Structures are given as structure tokens and as C-alpha cells.
Structure 1
Amino acid sequence: MANQYMQEEDDAILKTYNRYPVVLDHGDGAYLYDPEGKKYLDFSAGYAVSSLGYNNKEFNDALKAQIDKMIHTSNLYYNTTCGKAGEDLKKITGMYKVFFTNSGGEAIEGAIKTARKYAYTKKTGRYEFIAMENSFHGRSMGAVALTGHKEYREPFEPVMPGVHFAIYNDLDSVKALVNDKTCAIILETIQGEGGINAATKEFMQGIRKICDENGILMICDEVQCGMGRSGAWFAWQQMGITPDIMTMAKAIGSGVPVGAFAMTKEVADNSLVPGDHGTTYGGNPLCCAAVSKTIEIFEKEHMLDHVNEIAPYLTQKLQEIVDTCDAAVKVKGRGLIQGLQITKPLGEVTAKALEEGLLIIGAGTDVIRMIPPLVIGKEQVDEMAEILKRALA
């Protein structure tokens, strides 16, 4: 039966993904199941999306109730869920205004346009961006232009001009790129795709100072590392800074496709106005109901406390693998966005883990990415560690 589903996709869907040879049918908690009932422990959470795990009854019931009421209307009209979801995101981000998108990539596009419009409104003549090497911001043209991997940009050149790449966690390399055309500096607070690299507080505060002194906007991309994964609502909140613009997506909707970008009052008052930006589906009633219910469950279940309790145990178990396995080199990241740097080929290790019922994915060229549902317990961490040791042997 699994082969049938795989063949159907291969016949019908444009091949832009290197899929794993597994078909998933349903999930429960931190586990996924194929059509024959084989069980998989999920340590990828749909690329850090499914923070509540699978089959959360309260979340599902809220979506079912909203489906029965209304799924979509035009943004020409108000609806009963968009304003509340916006206020909920304002509360946990501390930002002044929010714009809903359909994905993280769209949130990045909105952030780019907001920064450019701010420069236009202020008549600064600025249009260039400083991004980071090893960064990943999405697959759309603007996001690709900001992504610090040549192989992502090269097939689509010429991409958006005026983007320069600094070295992550190297403040001098950022300073060297600043000029009177610099519009914004963008970075992931914790790089995901680039290898689970966490920004230091000194680096983040240094960028904030550069921006303040030079009239530059600071953009934090929290699409993957945000929404509780670091142990705070958003990872920049642990850094003693506030960005001018931030992006988010993935876990804010717990599997429903929704993203957002948010901004301070200064930026909101001097950037996008009606006609500058829009989206057909952004802010629709179903997605906004998902956002509000996700935040409600996070608060009720004290999810941040749980992350801060379980994350040190995950670090400990990964460090034990480093101490006992020749193929494991270093533990990276923080919270429940951690990485294990290895010397064996990533594809070989993920394939062996898959055979034993563990879903893991890579980051960069040599890092196993640990981004499980935030609801995992120590027993799931133990189960993961035992399988991973065998896969690395």
C-alpha cells in the first residue's frame, strides 16, 4: 500500500523534494504512523511546525468548530478571529502591529517590503541589506536573495541586488559592510538550515547598537526558532534586544499554514499603507483561530516551562552520545532546537534511524537537527538517544 501512495505522488507531483521512503497516515502525541500502523518517533515536527504534537483534541476541536462557522472571506471585510489572533501575537511579541501571511517565506517578503517602504517614507535613499552567511530565509525570490548559501541563489540569478553577507557571530564583519545605503540587517536568532548555530548575546546586542547608531532596521527571522522552541516565546527575547521587524510562521499555527511579520510603532507608522501589500488568504478565519488556540494551549499547559525543563535533558543525552560515539562531534543550539554534529554521512544516519522508527533531518552538511514537538517527555528523549546511538555505530 505504501508503494502505491509513493508512486501516485511521483506520477502527479513535481519532484522538488528528496522524500524519505515512508508514507505517513496519522499521528498521536510525538508519534506518526504509516498506513500499516508502523510507529515513528518524530524529532522533526514537520520542520518545527507541530509543536503541540499530533491529534491534540482541544486544538482539533477548535478548528472543527471554526470550519463549521467560516473558513475564508476577503480581506475587504473584518472577521471574528483575525483581530484576536493579532492581539495574541502582539501580547507575546511585544510588537505594535502584525500582518498575517500564509508562510514564513511570505513573512520574509513582507519584512523586506516593510524595510524598503520605511526607507522610502523617511527619504533615506537606503535599499541594501546585510544578511548572514549560512542563513536560510525561504524559497521565494526575495528570501533567496537574503539566503547565505550560494547554491540556493545561483540558479535564479540575478536575484534582488544590494545584499551583502556577513559572518554569523562576527560583529566586525557586520561593521565592515555597513554603508549609507544599508537599509536593514537581517538574521535568524538561531540558524536552523545552516547548522543550528545560535547567535551570542554580544552579537545580537552589537547589531542592535549598529542599527541604532546608523538609522538601520534590525530584522529577526524567528520562523523556525520562534514560538517557544528556544525556551522563550521568541529567541530574541533572551538577548536583551528588540528588533524593529520580526518574522514568524511554522509553529504559530500548529500545522495550519500561517505566518506573520510584526513591527514596532515607529516602523508601522512609517511604512506600509493600504495598497502597498496584500494577500488573499492571509488572516483568514481558520488560520487565525489556529493561532489563538495555539497560544491559549501554550499558556494553559505552561509550554515554555516544559521546554526549559526538558531541554537540559536533551542536551545531556546528546552529550552522552558525543562522549561515547566516535562519529558524534559536538552538541549545538539551545532549547528544543538543538543539533548533533557528526562525521558520518547525514543521509546514511537518517536512513538507519528511519528503519528503526525515528524521524530526524539534517541541518547544513554535517548536523542532525533536533526539533521535536515541544510536548516530548524524557522517555521520548531516551528512545531517540538509543536509536541514534545504533544509527551512528
Structure 2
Amino acid sequence: MEAADLAQLLTPEGMALLDRTPAVSDGGEIVRVVSRLRSEGHDPGLVAAVLTQAKLRQRALSKFGPFAARMLFTEAGLEQATRLQVAAQHAGRFAAAGLTRVADLGCGIGGDAMAMAALDLDVTAVDRDEVTAAVATHNLSPWDHARVELGDAAAFDLSRVDGVWMDPARRTSGHTNTKRLTDPDEWSPSLDTVFAAATTTPTGVKLGPGVDRDLIPDTAEAQWTSVDREVVELALWFGPLARPGVRRAATVIGPHGVAELTGAADAPDEAVGPIGEYLYEPDGAVIRARLIGDLARSIDGRMLSEGIAYITSDRAVTTPFAQGFRVLDTMPLDVKKLAARLAADGIGTVEIKKRGVDVDPAQFRKRLRLRGRGRVTLVLTRLEGRHTAILCERLADVAG
């Protein structure tokens, strides 16, 4: 979306038209909406801008829920925006630390700033892109204690606030078809600028979950967050925003709510032991935070194999930090023998998981030539130094 498109959209006619245009995703539905709007005599450029927002609102439901129905987006801004349930966790940090004036530097479309404003924090949101700042202004309009400024995050006067939230731009500038930047010096603001701010001001920083761990300062609390089993970010917390004695945290958000595993440092793994009756796959946030050993100890477990993130135990445990499976059998990882076994058992549906083996699950599934009504989970991994297939059933399925 360019500035001219946004200006047209932000007119009374444009907003009224957008508000009565439903969120769309289906191709046929899009054609019908376009035909109806053009038949009503609306400008083709305005119709295109409205339709783009309607499609983005549909996509935004997974991140913003019902709030998406009144928000504006750019394609790149939506892709990079923090999910609202995660942004609420960020805002809660500032509120718990007693920081009432917060700057959201590199605010994007304003997702984090919205969550802060909802907790009655005084928010100054800053972005260097004119269109993005205008979109954020619209999204923050319900709160009179939130404002948007057009400017360079690196030049912001930190003395104006009690705390800072930074989300360095890690993609090239633009509103669509941006490319990822891998060099922290090319981020905006650069990682050096971010860490310099953290030495003087309570600071939270959003980074990609796969960032090089060597870049994490010893003074920061590093918190990896997953939503519905997908690891979505790494947040670094400095000063009073970091919790005493916590340097590693795995926050897991799902149907169970919010659960957290924390540690003072990377946790040593448990020793490797024989496979038990149950197998557990740690959540990705737990793996990224290197708290697998602490999880294993909490469920009386042991590592299945050296350097592989599977835990085995002799008891069934329900935990938000791992998916659990009951072990049915183990076999050598031989596709012909596996195919014969699954055919004999009437297995027609297979979930394939792998760690420590070089296998393409899609191609492997084709070679199994599955037939039947039964289902099973195949865990392809190393066991006692050998490539092994573990036949399992999910504990959730067993319980159901």
C-alpha cells in the first residue's frame, strides 16, 4: 500500500466502504465483491485499496482476533506484527515493573503499542515509514494516551520515557515483497544501538527465535515464546524488566493458556537411558531455551539419545511443555519392513516426526504405501546409535 492509496482509504467514503466490506479470502468471493463495488460507481483505485484491506483483515484474524475487524494493515506490517496474545505478555512486563511511560521504537502497525495502551501505559510509538506510521495511528486511535511519531528509532530521546520496547526491522524497507536481513548491523535500529539503549534504560527487545545465541548478552533474560507449538519470537529483557535469577525462559501459549519454564542458565541434559513406555517431544520454545534437561527431570524422564531433543519416561504425564506419546514398538528404520508392519496392522494414516536422521517425511510416507483405517505416529530417530523407527500413539488420542 502506497501513501496515495492510504490517503484515499482514510477518507470518510473509504472508511465507510471498508467497514461494510466483509473480510474476504476466496477467489470467487473476491470477484463478486469487486464487481459489486465497481457497479456502485466507486473509484477503481479505492476499490483496490478496500479489497486489499479486506483480505489483510481476514489474514489478521489469527493474530488479532476480533480486533482485526477495525484495524488497518500493510502486508509486510502484518507479517512482522506481534500476535496480540504475545503482545499482552510484553505489556504485562512493563506494567509489572511499574514503568508507566513506554516508547515502542520501530512500532510497525502498532500491535505491541495497542497491548500497552490497553493496560493504561502511556505509549509513544515511533516508526520511520510514513505509511506504516499512519496505519499505526489509526490502529491506536481508540486510546488517547497513545501517540505515533514519524522518526528514526535510533534518534529517539530515551529521557522522555521510563522504558523502551524495540522490534528492530530485520527485513528490507517496503510494504510488500521484503527480504530478510541476516546481518545485525543492517537491522534498523542495529543490534549495537539496541544494546546500548539497554545499558541506560529498562529495555525489551523482540528478535527472531533462531537468532545466534552468541549475540545474547549475559545481562539479559532470554525468553522464547511459542504459540500453538510454533516458536514465534525471542524476547530479551534488561534491567527491571528481567526477572531476578532468570536468564532462560520458555513461554508456551496454547489452549491451556500460558505456561512457563524458567532457569538461571542453560539446563544440563539428563543422562541417556533406555526407552520407556512413553516418549515426549519438547515444545520448540523449551528446546530453543535449552531447558530440556529441566523438563526431563520434572517428568522423571531421561534423554532418548545424546544430542537429540526427545525425552523418554516410564510414566504418562500431561504437560504443556511437551507432546506425549505411548510407545507401541521399535523397529530398525527400514522402509520395506515398516511398510509390511503397517499393512499387517491396517494402518492407513501416519504422522511422521524425525530428529537425528536424514529423511524427507513426504517421500518416506509415499514409500510406505499406506492402506487401512488405523493411525499411528512414527518417530524416526537414533536409538542406541542406530537409526530407528518408534511406533507410537499420542497420549491425547489414548485419553480421548
TM bin, normalised by shorter chain, reads: 0.3 to 0.5
More helix by share: 1
User: Which structure's relative contact order is higher, taking Cα pairs within 8 Å and 6+ residues apart?
Assistant: 1
Q: Which structure: larger Rg?
A: 2
More strand by share: 2
**Length-normalised TM-score, structure 1:** 0.33
**Length-normalised TM-score, structure 2:** 0.33
